[in-house]
Amino acid sequence: MKRLAAAIVALSSLACPLMAAATSLDDVRDIAVAWLKENRSLPGARMEAQADSLDSRLRLADCPARPSASLPGNRPLGARVSVAVHCPVPGGWTVRVPVRVKLFTQVLVTSRPLTRGDGIGAADVHAEERDVASLAYGYIAALDQVDGRSLARPLNAGTVLTPGMLAGRQAVRVGDAVSMEATVEGVTIRADGVALGAGDAGTRVKVRNASSGRVLDAVVSGPGVVAVLP
């Protein structure tokens, strides 16, 4: 009996190293979160990511190589993403990890109500930290992204500026010297003026007559040209 017991102990000691330990589900969740923070964050941004719990019944074999992670289809980052964690060996397992994401960075927010056709200047917007992962329509981080374009629709104060809110480029900007045209009984009269508003062709703006100082209503006709309204 003593010899049999010794043999069993010996066999057990040989078998233990051959039995691969299971991969922890918590490790898989940590890999998904770490990969997101390393590969999907932005310079200067602050990311908060929390992986949801995985099915406790899931059992994963030990992975002899370092597991890899990816966003299937290279999808853009959103408030909820599914990160694929894969054991990169023949027959290796793949687990999709649901992760809730918040990504805080500076975006442009309107400082006052703006109307359709308005240009956007430094006095119209300010920077605020917002969770951009929850902004499904994107955002604008700096004025140079506007690049002379006007608004496609009116905006309330406190609105995060998005690319879809922008129309075409401005034909006239605030402070531009413009040619004011008015047609009286078939005769076109021209005078120099200064634009007090901004917008593309068809946008109604205020202009100041450079000679008299009188402020008039006008419609943008083209680059540097406005038609004075009667």
Query: Is residue 1, in this structure, part of any structural domain at all?
Result: no
142 and 69: one domain? Answer: no
- The reported pLDDT for the residue numbered 4 is 42
Q: Is 29 helix (H, G, I), strand (E, B) or coil?
A: helix
pLDDT in tens, 100-130: 999 999 999 999 999 887 878 888 999 999 9
CATH code where residue 143 lies: 3.90.1210.10
115 and 188: one domain? Answer: no
DSSP-assigned beta bridge partners for residue 46: 104
pLDDT in tens, 1-44: 445 444 434 434 333 333 345 689 999 999 999 999 999 998 89
Among candidate residues 102, 134, 155, the one where a domain is terminated: 102
39 and 88: one domain? Answer: yes
86 and 26: one domain? Answer: yes
Query: Is residue 5, in this structure, part of any structural domain at all?
Result: no
Q: Pull the structure tokens for residue 149.
A: 């374009």
- Taking the model in full, what pTM does it have? 0.64
Query: Is residue 84, in this structure, part of any structural domain at all?
Result: yes
Query: Is residue 4, in this structure, part of any structural domain at all?
Result: no
CATH code where residue 220 lies: 2.30.30.760
What whole-number distance in Å separates Cα of residue 58 and Cα of residue 185? 85
What is the rounded average pLDDT of the residues 202-225?
Answer: 89
Of the ranges 13-22, 53-62, 118-127, 221-230, which one carries the lowest mean pLDDT score?
13-22
Number of other CB atoms surrounding residue 137 within 10 Å: 9
Query: Rounded mean pLDDT of the chain?
Result: 85
28 and 98: one domain? Answer: yes
Q: Domains in the chain: how many in total?
A: 3
Closest residue by Cα to residue 163 from 188, 190, 145: 145
Q: Judge whether 152 and 199 are in contact, CB under 8 Å.
A: no
- CA-derived radius of gyration, the chain: 32
Is the sign of the CA dihedral 161, 226, 197, 154 positive or negative?
A: negative
Query: Is residue 25, in this structure, part of any structural domain at all?
Result: yes
What whole-number distance in Å separates Cα of residue 144 and Cα of residue 91? 50
Query: Is residue 198, in this structure, part of any structural domain at all?
Result: yes
140 and 82: one domain? Answer: no
Query: Is residue 15, in this structure, part of any structural domain at all?
Result: no
Residues spanned by the domain of 29: 21-102
